[in-house]
């Protein structure tokens, strides 16, 4: 007598909750950056606010902002695609999410260090100088106070970058686990 074997092909795939969360975060982050990046670049290029003019006059800040915004816009398209692929449990999306997270972790460390050490203090100093020039206060901000604010911003920005780096590493490890890989196998 033959024993009936269930047809595994007709069973629906079960997407792990962690994959669902990562897919939703990728979609939200990707859509937000896709919409925001052009406005951020346009604001720098078109608005005549004193801070924008000062940033346009500094080649490093100008090119870092424009090139970074343009790259972010294209990366947002990739992020949206990965989010959709993860939601549909496509193997290519899982693999490319791992590659993306490894690259993003490395970029966050290298680019983040440049940003924290060089860009943040420069942008903060320009912003504070513009704010002081526009204010009606007779005495300028003391140099030690300005330096403490810049240092605090650098430390906070560095910590945020480390949190993002840790999140990218966590996602890469999670997406590489055998149990996660199993959810992406076609039946």
**Alpha carbon separation from 173 to 2, 92, 98, 166, 176 (Å, rounded):** 43, 16, 8, 11, 5
Domain membership flag for residue 51 = yes
> Is there a contact between 105 and 169 (Cβ–Cβ < 8 Å)?
yes
Domain membership flag for residue 151 = yes
CB-based contacts of 168: which residues, under 8 Å, 6+ apart?
101, 102, 104, 105, 108
Residues 120-163: pLDDT tens digits?
888 877 777 777 777 665 566 676 777 788 788 888 988 999 99
**What are the phi and psi torsion angles at 139 (to 5°)?**
-95, 135
Helix (H) or strand (E) holding 171: helix 143-176
| CA separation for the pair 175, 93 (Å, rounded) | 10
> Mean pLDDT across the stretch 152-181?
93
> Is there a contact between 169 and 132 (Cβ–Cβ < 8 Å)?
no
Domain membership flag for residue 26 = yes
| CA separation for the pair 168, 100 (Å, rounded) | 8
Domain membership flag for residue 183 = no
**What's the domain range around 76?**
15-176
* Residue with more model confidence, 82 or 41: 82
Domain membership flag for residue 5 = no
Give pLDDT, residue 108.
92
Domain membership flag for residue 44 = yes
DSSP letters for 74-108: HHHHHHHHHHHHHHTT-HHHHHHHHHHHHHHHHHH
Residues 4-56: pLDDT tens digits?
555 555 555 789 999 999 999 999 999 999 999 898 888 888 888 887 888 88
Tokens standing for 46? 């078109």
Q: What is the DSSP letter of 116?
A: I
| Count of structural domains within the chain | 1
**Alpha carbon separation from 86 to 16, 32, 56, 114 (Å, rounded):** 10, 18, 39, 32
Domain membership flag for residue 182 = no
Three-class secondary structure of residue 36 per DSSP: helix
Domain membership flag for residue 166 = yes
């Amino acid at each position: 007598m033959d024993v009936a074997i269930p047809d595994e092909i007709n069973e629906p795939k079960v997407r792990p909750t962690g994959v669902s969360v990562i897919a939703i975060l990728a979609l939200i982050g990707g859509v937000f950056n896709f919409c925001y990046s052009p406005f951020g670049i346009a604001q720098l290029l078109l608005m005549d606010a004193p801070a924008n003019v000062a940033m346009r006059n500094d080649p490093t800040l100008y090119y870092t902002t424009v090139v970074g915004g343009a790259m972010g816009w294209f990366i947002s398209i990739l992020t949206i695609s990965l989010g959709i692929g993860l939601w549909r449990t496509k193997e290519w999306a899982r693999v490319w999410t791992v590659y993306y997270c490894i690259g993003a972790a490395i970029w966050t460390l290298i680019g983040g260090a440049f940003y924290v050490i060089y860009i943040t203090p420069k942008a903060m100093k320009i912003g504070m100088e513009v704010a002081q020039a526009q204010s009606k206060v007779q005495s300028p901000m003391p140099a030690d106070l300005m330096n403490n604010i810049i240092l605090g911003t650098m430390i906070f920005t560095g910590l945020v970058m480390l949190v993002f780096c840790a999140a990218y590493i966590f996602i890469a490890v999670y997406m590489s686990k055998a149990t996660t890989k199993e959810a992406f196998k076609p039946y």
